[in-house]
């Protein structure tokens, strides 16, 4: 049964986080959007500008202010999520070393 979600959070809840695209995962972190520019549209702008999550991770936080719809709180959430991913990646390397 195919279901349409109005927000990626519903998809995550129903199908799990692995089912989401990078754009959808970013949209959850930066939600809500702004008038006329949804969280998904902002996430698409981020990926278009930086090419990938890895490209995003290598940017100074000030560069994110250039994207319409991103302000301090959303940028701080993204920075925290990226740092968590980095720490998990380091811990994984320690486990397998």
Question: Domain containing 91 — which CATH number?
Answer: 1.10.150
pLDDT digit string, tens, across residues 77-94? 999 999 999 899 888 766
Q: Per the domain annotation, does 1 fall within a domain?
A: no
- Report the candidate in 5, 9, 4 with the shortest Cα–Cα distance to residue 26: 9
Sequence-separated (6 or more) residues with CB below 8 Å from residue 28: 7, 8, 9, 12, 20, 39
For the chain, the domain total comes to 1
Q: Dihedral (C-alpha) 65, 71, 57, 94: value to the nearest 10 degrees? A: 150
Question: Given this model, what pLDDT does residue 96 score?
Answer: 54
Residue 1 has pLDDT above 50, yes or no: no
Q: Per the domain annotation, does 87 fall within a domain?
A: yes
pLDDT digit string, tens, across residues 25-62? 999 999 999 999 999 999 999 999 999 999 999 899 89
Residue 15 is part of which domain span? 8-96
């Amino acid at each position: 049964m195919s279901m349409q979600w109005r927000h990626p959070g519903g998809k995550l809840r129903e199908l799990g986080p692995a089912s989401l695209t990078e754009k959808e995962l970013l949209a959850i972190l930066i939600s809500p959007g702004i008038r006329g520019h949804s969280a998904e549209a902002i996430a698409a702008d981020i990926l278009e500008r930086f090419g990938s999550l890895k490209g995003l991770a290598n940017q100074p936080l000030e560069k994110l202010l250039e994207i319409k719809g991103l302000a301090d709180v959303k940028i701080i959430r993204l920075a925290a999520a990226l740092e968590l991913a980095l720490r998990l990646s380091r811990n994984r390397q320690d486990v397998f070393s």
